[in-house]
């Protein structure tokens, strides 16, 4: 605590460096800045206590300061152990008007290179706003903050936290440990917290999947807005964001020449499409794996061979997983790769690549080339290079997506927070998407910066195609 502000960041003196980056990012985030201007007087988030778990980057700093500018009190953690930009975390704590000695910003608990135990400790810090108050809103990316609340309520109802078994991952065992500590102190803590939460707005595909599962089984404890499936999120951030930040991550990690190399992209959804396009743009020979015939056909129509991993495992130079699924590249696949093949993941969780299995290969040796870049040498002498220990490499090895695309995502986040916070009675314990007119509004806020001149419909044309002159311009089922 300094000047009454709690925080746990790498180095507060990095704040000045973070602030210059935030200032430049603000210029590249026209949607967020327009939202600040639009709601400056109304202060729709006054009274909101927002717990945010989302990569603590420069772009996220602009989101946090937008939520604060609209009246919210905020606490923040990163949703990944490697994704924090330490200078951004420091700048958010110090705040735009504070100093290192007298910070006046927002509590942040995040640093680059947390252990998993530290990660869950940080996540737990989200829920105490002082004076016995918890958050009344959550911003989540991947659903870990929401998971902690739901598991907490489940175990409080049962009166006990189960002992981790050998089948549990190391990470889940840590979640259970965090909850056991909490339960020992207050056996109604999460039950009380959950009752005060008006809703969660979720950023990514994997977190959204968790929410729909909870809603289907009737276990969802508060309303949720699926930000990911705003068109101006998943069709932009997931695709064009990764098209930028995947290469950034590979280059910073390895600086390997991609032209002419054989690259495998596992999954051809929104993220896979961006990944494949970026690698092809660098002159790599790109092949795709898919389980969905529609996405496989799309890849084929884009001229990309669709193969099975086994067809290329021994010949490819680079492997990128983008599926949001588990067990995509197993230890036996890693062993079958050629010398110095590069392996990385940009799907949300680290179980796409069997890192646990790799570590258990008898005689394997792990050598750190630099942080988040590891050479794993098999007993036969050949090695592979794994980026960010199998976690999101575009955030672990680089700084994630650029500001402009994140402005689209985070304008959706801000609108969704305002929506759930100001209309608590309008939503059930279900998962909702933002209405299309707001999706179109987010896009509209980003046109001027790119010099776009939109054509205006005439009244006659609008009637002819059956829409309003002011939009929405597409039916709900349109796919873009």
> Is residue 394 part of the contact set for ligand NAI (CB under 6 A)?
yes
206 is in an annotated binding site: no
**Which residue is closest to ligand NAI by CB?**
269
226 is in an annotated binding site: no
Residues numbered 25 to 84 that lie near ligand NAI (CB under 6 A) are none
233 is in an annotated binding site: yes
**Residues 351 and 331: beta-carbon distance below 8 Å:** no
Q: Could you tell me where the beta strands, DSSP code E, fall in 181-315? A: 199-202, 224-226, 262-266, 285-289
- Tell me, by CB under 6 A, how many residues bind ligand NAI: 31
∠ CA 114-121-137, rounded to 5° = 110
351 is in an annotated binding site: no
As measured in angstroms, the least distance from the Cβ of 134 to ligand NAI is: 26
Residue 296 backbone phi and psi in degrees, to 5: -65, -40
Q: Which CB atom, from 241 or from 402, has the smaller least distance to ligand NAI?
A: 241
267 is in an annotated binding site: yes
CB burial of 285-302 (b: ≥16 within 10 Å; e: otherwise) equals bbbbbbeeeebbebbeee
- DSSP letter for 130, please: S
268 is in an annotated binding site: yes
Q: Which CB atom, from 135 or from 272, has the smaller least distance to ligand NAI?
A: 272
As measured in angstroms, the least distance from the Cβ of 337 to ligand NAI is: 17
Nearest to 406 by CA among 51, 39, 60: 60
CA distance 328 to 344: 11
Q: Which CB atom, from 34 or from 276, has the smaller least distance to ligand NAI?
A: 276
Q: Residue 34: which residues within 8 A CB-CB, separation 6 or more?
A: 411, 445
Look at the chain and count its residues. Answer: 480
> Is residue 295 part of the contact set for ligand NAI (CB under 6 A)?
yes
Q: Residue 215: which residues within 8 A CB-CB, separation 6 or more?
A: 224, 429, 430, 431
As measured in angstroms, the least distance from the Cβ of 48 to ligand NAI is: 25
CA distance 58 to 89: 8
As measured in angstroms, the least distance from the Cβ of 241 to ligand NAI is: 6
Cross-sheet strand order for the sheet of 73-77: 108-109, 73-77, 49-53, 137-140, 199-202, 224-226, 431-432
- Terminal C-alpha separation, the chain: 48
Q: Which secondary-structure segment (H or E) carries 76?
A: strand 73-77
As measured in angstroms, the least distance from the Cβ of 268 to ligand NAI is: 6
Residues numbered 225 to 284 that lie near ligand NAI (CB under 6 A) are 234, 237-238, 241-242, 266-272
325 is in an annotated binding site: yes
Provide the phi-psi class of 85: left if phi over 0, else alpha when psi is between -120 and 50, else beta: beta
> Is residue 205 part of the contact set for ligand NAI (CB under 6 A)?
yes
Nearest to 360 by CA among 393, 334, 341: 334
Q: Which CB atom, from 146 or from 182, has the smaller least distance to ligand NAI?
A: 146
As measured in angstroms, the least distance from the Cβ of 331 to ligand NAI is: 16
Q: Going residue by residue from 319 to 348, which x/- string records binding to ligand NAI, judged by CB under 6 A?
A: ---xxxx--x-----------------xxx
| Surface-to-core class of residue 4, CB atoms within 10 Å of its CB (0-12 exposed, 13-18 middle, 19+ buried) | exposed
Residues numbered 87 to 126 that lie near ligand NAI (CB under 6 A) are none
154 is in an annotated binding site: no
Q: Which CB atom, from 346 or from 353, has the smaller least distance to ligand NAI?
A: 346
3-state secondary structure of 343: strand
Measured from the Cβ of residue 67, the count of other Cβ atoms closer than 10 Å reads 27
CA distance 126 to 135: 8
As measured in angstroms, the least distance from the Cβ of 436 to ligand NAI is: 19
390 is in an annotated binding site: no
Q: Which secondary-structure segment (H or E) carries 75?
A: strand 73-77
394 is in an annotated binding site: yes
Q: Going residue by residue from 400 to 429, which x/- string records binding to ligand NAI, judged by CB under 6 A?
A: -x----------------------------
As measured in angstroms, the least distance from the Cβ of 327 to ligand NAI is: 8
Q: Which CB atom, from 268 or from 432, has the smaller least distance to ligand NAI?
A: 268
3-state secondary structure of 431: strand
4 is in an annotated binding site: no
Per CB under 6 A, the segment of 91-99, 112-120, 289-297, 434-442 that binds ligand NAI is: 289-297
As measured in angstroms, the least distance from the Cβ of 142 to ligand NAI is: 7
> Is residue 354 part of the contact set for ligand NAI (CB under 6 A)?
no
237 is in an annotated binding site: yes
Binding residue positions for NAD(+): 238, 267-272, 290, 325, 394
Interface residues toward ligand NAI, by CB under 6 A: 204-206, 234, 237-238, 241-242, 266-272, 289-292, 295, 322-325, 328, 346-348, 392, 394, 401
Binding residue positions for substrate: 57, 141, 203, 233, 237
């Amino acid at each position: 605590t300094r000047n009454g502000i709690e925080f746990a960041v790498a180095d507060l003196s990095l704040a000045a460096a973070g602030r210059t980056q935030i200032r430049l990012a603000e210029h590249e985030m026209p949607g967020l800045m327009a939202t600040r201007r639009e709601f400056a007087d109304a202060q729709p988030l006054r009274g909101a206590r927002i717990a945010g778990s989302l990569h603590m980057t420069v772009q996220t700093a602009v989101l946090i300061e937008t939520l604060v500018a609209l009246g919210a009190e905020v606490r923040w953690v990163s949703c990944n152990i490697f994704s924090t930009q330490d200078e951004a975390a420091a700048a958010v704590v110090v705040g735009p008007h504070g100093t290192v000695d007298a910070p006046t910003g927002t509590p942040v608990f995040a640093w680059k290179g947390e252990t998993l135990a530290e990660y869950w400790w940080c996540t737990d810090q989200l829920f105490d706003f002082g004076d016995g108050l918890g958050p009344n809103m959550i911003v989540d990316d991947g659903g870990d903050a929401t998971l902690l609340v739901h598991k907490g309520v489940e175990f409080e109802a049962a009166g006990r936290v189960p002992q981790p078994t050998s089948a549990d991952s190391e990470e889940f065992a840590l979640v259970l440990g965090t909850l056991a500590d909490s339960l020992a102190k207050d056996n109604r803590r999460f039950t009380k917290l959950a009752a005060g939460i008006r809703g969660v707005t979720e950023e990514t595909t994997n977190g959204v999947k968790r929410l729909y599962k909870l809603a289907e089984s009737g276990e969802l404890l508060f309303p949720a807005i699926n930000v990911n499936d705003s068109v101006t999120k998943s069709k932009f951030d997931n695709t064009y964001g990764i098209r930028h930040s995947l290469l950034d991550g590979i280059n910073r990690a390895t600086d390997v020449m991609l032209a002419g190399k054989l690259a495998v992209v596992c999954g051809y959804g929104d993220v896979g499409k961006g990944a494949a396009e970026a690698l092809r743009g660098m002159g790599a020979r790109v092949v795709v794996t898919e389980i969905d015939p529609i996405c496989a056909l799309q890849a084929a129509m884009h001229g990309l061979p669709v193969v099975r991993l086994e067809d290329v495992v021994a010949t490819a130079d680079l492997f990128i997983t983008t599926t949001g699924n588990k067990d995509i590249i197993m230890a036996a696949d890693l062993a079958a790769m050629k010398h110095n093949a590069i392996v990385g993941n940009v799907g949300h969780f680290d179980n796409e690549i069997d890192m646990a299995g790799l570590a258990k290969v008898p005689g394997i040796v792990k050598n750190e080339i630099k942080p988040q870049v590891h050479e794993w040498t098999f007993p036969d002498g050949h090695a592979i290079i794994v980026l960010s220990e199998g976690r999101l490499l575009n955030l672990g090895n680089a700084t994630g997506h650029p500001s402009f695309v994140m402005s689209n995502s985070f304008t959706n986040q801000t609108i969704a927070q305002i929506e759930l916070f100001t209309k608590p009675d309008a939503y059930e314990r279900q998962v909702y998407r933002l209405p299309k007119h707001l999706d179109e509004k987010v896009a509209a806020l980003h046109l001027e910066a790119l010099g776009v001149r939109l054509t205006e419909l005439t009244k006659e044309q609008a009637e002819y195609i059956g829409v309003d002159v002011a939009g929405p311009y597409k039916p709900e089922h349109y796919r873009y």
